[in-house]
Every structure is written in C-alpha cells, then in structure tokens.
C-alpha cells in the first residue's frame, strides 16, 4: 500500500545510483526494490521540521529522496509528466524557446529528457545529496547544463528563460507564493511554464506536503488566482503563458483584494475603472 504502480527501473538508472553511492549494481537495485513511500514519511515525522530553516536542512541532508524519486519517476504514474513534456515541446519548441529552467529539479529526470531534445538546460534546487546526484547523473549522461543552488529562503531571480518547469515542488516549500513570483520573474514575456503542485496528502503518505499550503491552495480557484496575478495565463492543462504587465495588473489587484478582504471580484477590470 502507498507505493508506485508498475515500476520499471532501467539498468541505466540503477547504474547511475550505483556509481554515485559507490555500491555494486545488484545492491543498488535491491535497495530500490526495498524502498517504500513510508520510508521518507517516517524520516520526516522523526525529524519533525517546523521552521523554514529546519525544513530546508532536512532536504539538504536527506539522501532518501534519491531513492524515492527514482522509483516514482520510473513508475506508470510518471507517464502523465512525460506526456506533459511532449505537449511543452509542441507549444514551446527548442527553436524558439531554447533557454529552459527546471526549478526544483530533483534527481534530474526532467532536465535529462529536455537536454536530450536540445534545450539549453538550467537546474535549480536546494544544495545537498539529491542536487549532487542530479548533477552527477546529467554529467554521466553527457549533457551540458548549468546548476544553480537555492541557498536562501527568498529564491533568486535567475534570468529571462523561455521555458520553465516546476513539478511537485511548491507543496513542499513554506510560502509558495514567493516561488511563484520568482518563476514569473524568471520567465520572459510570452514564455511558457508548466507548474504542478500537489496540494493534498492522500492517505497521509506525504506529511511533507505542508498543511498550511494545502489549506491555502488546495482550492483550485485560489491557486489559479495566484498564478494569474503574476501574469501566468492557462493555455493547456497545467501549462501557462506569461503575459505582459498590463494584462496581469487587474488579476493581481483581484488576488490581493481577495487576500486582504476575502471577497472575490468577478470582473476586476470593471472595478478598476470605477473612480
């Protein structure tokens, strides 16, 4: 219960992990087969991080995420994300959207797939074992990339990217609004972003999906309002295009008004025209 369906971890993935941890490949596969979702959940509950500093420290120090993400991204569940990347390639082809950022890059799976298609890849994540492994893996696969460690609670704006992915990151971070702002600022006008955020904790398997984030953004309307307030307009399932400032200002006003008052303006443009 609580594990991934139809896992098929390739020999190549096993080889990467074995080389990184300097263990025999049969041992690497045995450990991958033995790993369970509950392992990470139990480690989180034992550490019980509460503050932003404690949460960051947990992710910087754990190596469990390498095993968890390798399993999940080798499972049938990850097909949805691979299909999304194919949609992105059609909407934002490499000839017009070369500069690509994977924010919260995990073990580097998405970065590897996009690098293989010719995108100019940048990965960004908190420093630690998982980020070290992502870089090790990408180098071992022969990909060129830029790696940017995120070392502060206020993430830096990284530059004008044509295409950004942020998959299953924002549910883990305190104050995800800050990261949305950074992602929007990193994306050039008319650039494309794909953002998934799992603001839920099915069956209690993911205690690291922060309760405050689930409470605030589990409501899809609120989440859409936040993205629109930063000019990220939906053009496909979980895919957004960055509009210019004038287009996003009314939506930004609506979101801030809602945050301050609890009232939702259905037509913020009309309201803004009232003297």
Q: Which residue has the higher pLDDT, 236 or 260?
A: 236
Determine the angle formed by the axes of helices 109-116 and 129-140, rounding to 10 degrees.
20
Residue 53 has pLDDT above 60, yes or no: yes
User: For position 275, what pLDDT does the model report?
Assistant: 27
DSSP letter for 152, please.
S
Q: What pLDDT was estimated at residue 259?
A: 66
Tell me, yes or no, whether 68 lies in a domain: no
In a domain, 59, yes or no: no
CA distance 44 to 23: 25
Coil vs helix vs strand at 216:
helix
pLDDT band with cut points at 50, 70 and 90 for residue 239: very high
Nearest to residue 168, comparing CAs of 213, 232, 215? Answer: 213
4 band by pLDDT with thresholds 50, 70 and 90: confident
Treating both helix axes as pointing N-terminal to C-terminal, what angle do 79-91 and 109-116 enclose, rounded to 10 degrees?
Answer: 40
- How much is the pLDDT for 221? 83
In tens, the pLDDT along 177-203 reads: 999 999 999 999 999 999 999 998 877
pLDDT for position 24: 98
For residue 85, being part of any structural domain is answered with yes
Q: What is the mean pLDDT of the chain?
A: 88
Q: Does the predicted TM-score (pTM) go above 0.85?
A: yes
Q: Return the pLDDT at 234.
A: 92
> Residue 188 falls within a domain, yes or no?
yes
Asked, for residue 243, whether it belongs to a domain, the answer is yes
Q: Enumerate residues 6+ apart whose C-beta is below 8 A from 265.
A: 253, 254, 257, 258, 271
Q: How far from chain centre, in Å, is Cα 17?
A: 22
As for how many domains the chain has, the answer is 1
Q: What is the CATH number of the domain that holds 163?
A: 3.40.50.150
DSSP letter string, 52-120: HHHHHHHHHH--HHHHHHHHHTTSGGGHHHHHHHHHHHHHS-TTT--EEEEES-TTSHHHHHHHHTT-E
Euclidean distance between CA atoms 80 and 186, whole angstroms: 25
The answer to whether residues 230 and 217 touch, using CB atoms and an 8 Å cutoff, is no
- Which residue, 216, 220, 162, is CA-closest to 194? 162
- Beta-bridge partner residues of 164: 101, 193
102 within some domain: yes
CA nearest to 98, candidates 144, 147, 166: 144
Cα–Cα distance, 7 to 36 (Å, whole number): 12
- What is the percent of the chain with per-residue pLDDT over 90, rounded to a whole number? 72
- Which residue segment(s) compose the domain that 201 sits in? 80-261
Residue 196 bridge partners (DSSP) = 167
| DSSP codes, 228-240 | HHTTEEEEETTEE
User: Per-residue pLDDT tens for 140-156?
Assistant: 999 999 999 998 766 66
| pLDDT, position 271 | 44
Backbone φ, ψ for residue 118 (5° rounding): 100, 5
170 found inside a domain: yes
pLDDT score of 209: 94
CB 65 within 8 A of CB 130: yes
What integer pLDDT is reported at residue 224 of this predicted model? 87
Residue 131 located in a structural domain: yes
Structure tokens belonging to residue 236: 């496909």
């Amino acid at each position: 219960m609580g594990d991934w369906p139809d896992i098929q971890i390739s020999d190549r993935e096993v080889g990467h992990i074995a080389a990184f941890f300097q263990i025999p490949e049969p041992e690497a596969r045995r450990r991958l087969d033995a790993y369970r979702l509950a392992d990470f959940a139990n480690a989180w509950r034992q550490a019980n991080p509460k503050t932003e500093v404690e949460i960051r420290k947990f992710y910087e120090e754990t190596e469990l995420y390498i095993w968890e993400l390798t399993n999940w991204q080798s499972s049938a569940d990850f097909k949805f994300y691979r299909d999304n990347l194919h949609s992105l390639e059609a909407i934002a082809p490499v000839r017009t959207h070369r500069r690509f950022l994977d924010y919260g890059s995990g073990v580097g799976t998405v970065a590897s797939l996009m690098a293989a298609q010719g995108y100019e890849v940048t990965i960004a994540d908190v420093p630690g074992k998982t980020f070290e492994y992502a870089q090790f893996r990408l180098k071992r696969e022969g990909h060129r990339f830029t790696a940017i460690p995120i070392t502060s609670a206020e993430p830096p704006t990284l530059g004008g990217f044509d295409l950004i992915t942020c998959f299953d990151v924002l549910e883990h971070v305190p104050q995800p609004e800050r990261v949305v702002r950074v992602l929007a600022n990193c994306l050039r006008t008319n650039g494309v972003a794909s953002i998934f955020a799992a603001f839920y904790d099915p069956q209690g398997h993911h205690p690291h999906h922060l309760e405050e984030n689930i409470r605030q953004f589990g409501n899809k309307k609120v989440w859409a309002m936040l993205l629109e307030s930063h000019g990220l307009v939906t053009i496909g399932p979980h895919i957004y295009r960055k509009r210019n400032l004038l287009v996003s200002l009314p939506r930004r006003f609506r979101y801030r008004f809602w945050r301050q008052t609890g009232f939702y303006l259905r037509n913020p443009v009309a309201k803004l025209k009232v003297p």
